[in-house]
Amino acid sequence: MSTPTEAPPALDMDALMAFVFRAVDEVGATLNAALVVLGDKLGYYRDLAAHGPTTPAELAERTGTAEPYAREWLNAQAAGDYLTYDPPSGRYTLPPEQAVALTVEDSPAFLPGFFQLALGTVHDVDHVLDAARSGGGYGWHEHVTDVHVGCERFFRPSYHAHLVDEWLPALDGVVEKLQAGALVADVGCGHGASTVLMAQAFPESRFVGSDYHPESIATARQRAADAGVSDRIRFEVASAQELPGTGFDLVTMFDCLHDMGDPVGAAEQVRRALAPDGTWMVVEPMAGDHVEDNLNPVGRAYYGFSTLLCTPASLSQDVGLALGTQAGPARIRDVATAAGFGRFASVAETPFNRVLEIRA
Ligand SMILES: C[S@@+](CC[C@H](N)C(=O)[O-])C[C@H]1O[C@@H](n2cnc3c(N)ncnc32)[C@H](O)[C@@H]1O
């Protein structure tokens, strides 16, 4: 006897086609990540910002690039509304607001670093494919340089806009100590953007920046020399679980706790290294505690980085806790509590970051 089979549900063809066309836009956006990085590295955006309405031949001539590339890039940018196009004159224009977002490195709206970080991350996807199958990880230090430089260029404008004027003043009594002369450890400092900004703002204080990635520390030393603050900062290659020194008035971690394999071990080291009334400042990507809190454009980008960059980084290290980029404050509090910290407060936030104050 044959079993009756249910008829498949009728498809909503409009919904299907709407999804397909949304995906076409996202394929364009995927390619656009490379186009933005290309426009940044070839100087196309800076040239357009400086010269106004431009033809492909003019852009190619002024940037020393081949005209067919300039032409196709301009067309792709116009199709994506990054540029406007004027058919009668055949000229392309970078609108002033987009010129800020695409050319002003210090602006909190600056975007090329975000794209550079994303493109470098996507570049390494085959390693993550292998890691997902084996359950292993892929270390921060193993990624292409665009990941390290893009990270610095993405986060630095936000630190430049908020760290000295908003985030440090949100911590109880910390600015007074920094003005008087404090000892500060900036752990997982990468290229040292946050360390250099703090050293510039508080000349009486002394800073120790550390990171487990030797090439990042070499760059951080260069950044401090370029900024004229090498006399106030010592950079060391060290993992957070081996944080060098004691008696710190302030320990900072910018966008790195969730990348660590053993954040509880790192937190225990912070407790040991802090002065008795010291403060641990943790800056983490903006996130709520529940998945549904993060189902928005920022959460989408960060869950993408989490899958391809931060979670593999954590899994490449001992313990491999894999907090994820969207851990949320409750899970960070659990890490602090497990290390013996008693006081925990969320003291400031931006669309991209949350600032936590943790004390004994
Ligand atoms: C997303 S980057 C942030 C870098 C820097 N704090 C910033 O805001 O630009 C994460 C950093 O954490 C560092 N890191 C990861 N695991 C670490 C560990 N166990 N100990 C020390 N640094 C670590 C990486 O080398 C990388 O520089």
pLDDT digits over 136-191, tens only?
999 999 999 999 999 999 999 999 999 999 999 999 999 999 999 999 999 999 99
Q: Which residue's alpha carbon is nearest to atom 13 within ligand 1?
A: 188
Q: Which two tokens stand for residue 206?
A: 């002394």
pLDDT profile of the chain (360 residues), mean per 10: 70 96 95 98 98 98 98 98 98 98 96 98 98 97 98 97 98 98 98 98 98 98 98 98 94 98 98 97 97 96 98 98 96 98 97 96
CB 354 within 8 A of CB 329: yes
One-letter amino acid at 29 equals A
Instruction: Please report, for residues 58, 76, 113, 299, 351, the alpha-carbon distance to residue 69 in angstroms, rounded to integers and kept in the order given.
Output: 12, 11, 22, 34, 35
CB 144 within 8 A of CB 120: yes
CB 188 within 8 A of CB 259: yes
pLDDT digits over 334-344, tens only?
999 999 999 99
User: Ligand 1 centre from 256 Cα, in Å?
Assistant: 5
| Beta-ladder partners of 94 | none
- Predicted local confidence at residue 3, as pLDDT: 57
Q: Which residue's alpha carbon is nearest to atom 21 within ligand 1?
A: 239
Is the CB of 152 inside a 6 Å radius of any atom of ligand 1?
A: yes
Is the CB of 249 inside a 6 Å radius of any atom of ligand 1?
A: no
User: Ligand 1 centre from 16 Cα, in Å?
Assistant: 42
